[in-house]
Amino acid sequence: MKTQSSATALPTIAVTTPRPRGSGFGTLQAALGVVAFSLTFPATAWGLEGFGPWTLVAVRSVLAALIAGGCLLALRIPLPARRHRPGLAVVAAGVVVGFPLLTTLALRTSTTAHAAVVVGLLPLTTALFSALRVGSRPSRTFWAAALAGACAVGAFTVQQSGGALTTADLYLFGALLVCAAGYTEGGRLARTMPGWQVIGWALVLCLPLTAPAAAVALSYEPVQLTAHSAAGLLWVAVGSQFLGLVVWYRGMAAVGIPKASQLQLAQPLLTLVWSVLLLGEQLTPAAPLTAAAVLVCIAVTQRARG
Question: Are 211 and 62 a contacting pair, CB within 8 Å?
Answer: yes
Identify the pLDDT of residue 162.
72
| 49 has a pLDDT exceeding 90 | yes
Higher pLDDT, 31 or 132: 31
241 neighbors 52 (Cβ within 8 angstroms): no
Torsion over CA: 142, 134, 265, 177 (sign): negative
Q: What is the pLDDT of residue 182?
A: 92
Across 213-231, average pLDDT: 94
User: Is residue 277 packed enough to be buried (19+ CB in 10 Å), middle (13-18) or exposed (0-12)?
Assistant: exposed
* Predicted pLDDT at 12: 40
Residue 212's alpha-carbon distances to 62, 87, 189, in angstroms, are 10, 24, 28
Summarize the confidence of residues 34-62 as an average pLDDT: 94
What is the mean predicted confidence (pLDDT) over 10-16? 39
Each residue's pLDDT tens digit, 106-148? 999 888 877 887 777 887 788 788 877 777 777 888 888 888 8
- Ordered DSSP codes for 162-188: TT---HHHHHHHHHHHHHHHHHHHHHH
- 74-117 per-position pLDDT tens digit: 999 999 989 999 999 999 999 999 999 999 999 998 888 778 87
Angle at 257 between CA 62 and CA 268, to 5 degrees: 65
pLDDT band at residue 179 under the 50/70/90 scheme: very high
Q: What is the pLDDT of residue 200?
A: 92
Q: How far apart are the first and last CA of the chain?
A: 54
Q: Which of 273, 272, 263, 258 is nearest to 295 (CA)?
A: 263
pLDDT surpasses 70 at 203: yes
pLDDT bucket at 22, cuts 50 / 70 / 90: low
pLDDT value of position 121: 80
pLDDT at 56: 95
**Using an 8 Å Cβ cutoff, are 279 and 45 in contact?**
yes
263, pLDDT greater than 90: no
- What's at 128, amino acid-wise? L
- 5 or 83: which leads in pLDDT: 83
**CB-CB contact of 196 with 91 (8 Å):** no
Residue 9 pLDDT exceeds 80: no
Residue 135: what are its φ and ψ, rounded to 5°?
Answer: 75, 20
CB 158 within 8 A of CB 168: no
Q: Tell me how long the chain is.
A: 306
Q: Which pLDDT belongs to residue 305? A: 52
pLDDT digits 0-9 by tens, 59-76: 999 999 999 999 999 999
Mean pLDDT within 229-242: 93
**CA nearest to 268, candidates 19, 41, 18:** 41
Q: Where are the alpha helices (DSSP H) in 39-137?
A: 40-47, 53-74, 85-91, 99-106, 112-133
Q: What is the mean pLDDT of residues 227-254?
A: 89
The mean pLDDT of the chain is 83
